[in-house]
Amino acid sequence: MEEAPAFGEERLTTIFRRLWPGNWRAPISWLVAAGLLVWLAAQADLGAIKASLSVTYPGWLAAAVLSVTATVVVRVARWRALLQGTTGTYPAWSPLWRATLWGQGLNWLLPFRAGDLARAYGIRHARWTGRESAPAGVKQSQSIGTPYALGTIGAEKLLDLAWLCLAVLPVLFFERLPNLSGLLPAAHIALPLLALGGALTLAWLLSRASFPLGQDRAAWPWRKTAADGMQRLGAGLAVLSRPAALWPAMAWSLLLWLGHAFNNYATARAMALPMDWLGASLVLVVLQAGLVPPSTPAKIGVFQALCVAGLGLLGYDIAASLAYGLVLQWVVMLPPLGLWLADLLLGRLG
C-alpha cells in the first residue's frame, strides 16, 4: 500500500499561498480578533477576569487535555471507518493520522475550512488493500484521490450535523434556561446551522445525481475529468449508505461528541465553575454551531464570545465566562497543535 507523502516545506508553502487570504486581509483579521477580546474584556472588571482565570483543580485540567488528545485519535478512527473498502479493508493508519494533524492545524490558521482540503489532498495516493476492495464508483486500480477523500469528509460533516441536532434536544428542555429574551444573545447560531445543513444537503443531492458526459467528450476532455471527479466525490458521500461503514462511524462520532462535552465539563470543574453535563452540552451546541462560518484566525475572539453567550444562558457573569473561554480554547488547541508541530519536527529530522 502506498502512503501519502509527508507534507514538506514546499507543499506547505504552496497550500499557504493558495488558501491564505490576501496580504491586507490577514492583518485586518488579527485586528478584528484582538478587538473582540478587548471589547469582551471591557464588559467586565479586569480584576474579576484575572481572579476567574485561576485553575483551582489542575487534575481536571489535565484530564481535559488528555481527553482532547484522545479525540484526535477518535477523529482518525472515524475517518478510517468511512474510508473502508468493500471487502472490509482500510487504508494505512499513518497517512490518515498525518493528514488529520495537518488538517486540524491548518483549520486553526486558515479560513474557509482550508485544512479539510489539505487533509483530503494528503491521502490522495493512499490505496485500499486486497483485490476488489475499492468502493463503488472508484476503479480498482485507482488510489483514494482527493475528490473521494473530500466526499468522506463531507460524510463526516453530515454525521456531525446529525449529532448536533440530537444534542439540541436535551438543551431545549433545560430547566435552568432563562426566558425567551435571554436566548436572544445566542440566536445568531441558527443561521450558521441552517447554512451548514443546506450545504450538506446540496452535497448529498449532488452525490445522488448523474453526470452524463455526452457525445463530445473527446472534444471537451475537461468534461470527463470534471465528471470523474464529481463521481468520486459522490462515491465518498454515498459511503453513508453502507451499513458496514455507517455504524462504526456513528459509534466513533458518539465518542467524539461525548469527548467534546467532557472537555467543556472538565474545564469548568478545573476552574471551580459549577456546571453539570446538561450545561456542558449547551456550551457544546453553541460552540459547534457558532464556529461553523469563517471568522478570525484560530477563532480568537469569536470562541470567547460564544462562550460568553453560552455561559450567559446558564447565569454566569461575563468575567467568569470570558475566563472560561480563554482557558477552554487553549485546552482544545494545544494538543492538536502540539502533535502537529511534533510531526513537522520529526519530518524534518527524518
Could you tell me which residue, 22 or 161, shows the higher pLDDT? 161
Residue 250 confidence class, pLDDT cut points 50, 70, 90? very high
Q: Is a pLDDT exceeding 60 seen at residue 326?
A: yes
Report the Cα–Cα distance between both ends of the chain, in Å, rounded: 21
- Please state the rounded mean pLDDT for residues 59-84: 94
Report the b/e string of 161-182 with b at 16+ CB within 10 A: bebbeebeeebeeeeebeeeee
**Residue 303 is placed in which grid cell?**
470562541
- Please state the rounded mean pLDDT for residues 64-88: 89
Lowest mean pLDDT among 92-96, 220-224, 291-295: 220-224
Q: What is the pLDDT of residue 1?
A: 40
Question: How many angstroms separate the Cα of 109 from the Cα of each of 219, 327, 339?
Answer: 42, 19, 15
Residue 63 confidence class, pLDDT cut points 50, 70, 90? very high
- Please state the rounded mean pLDDT for residues 92-103: 88
Could you tell me which residue, 297 or 288, shows the higher pLDDT? 288
Lowest mean pLDDT among 68-72, 135-139, 244-248: 135-139
Q: What is the pLDDT of residue 56?
A: 84
Residue 45 confidence class, pLDDT cut points 50, 70, 90? confident
Global pTM?
A: 0.76
- Please state the rounded mean pLDDT for residues 262-277: 92
**Residue 13 is placed in which grid cell?**
508553502
- Please state the rounded mean pLDDT for residues 251-261: 94
Q: What is the pLDDT of residue 251?
A: 94
Q: Is a pLDDT exceeding 50 seen at residue 145?
A: yes
Mean pLDDT rounded to a whole number for the chain: 75
Could you tell me which residue, 299 or 261, shows the higher pLDDT? 261
Q: Is a pLDDT exceeding 80 seen at residue 11?
A: no
Residue 91 makes CB contacts below 8 A (sequence gap 6+) with 1, 80, 83, 123, 126, 127, 128, 144
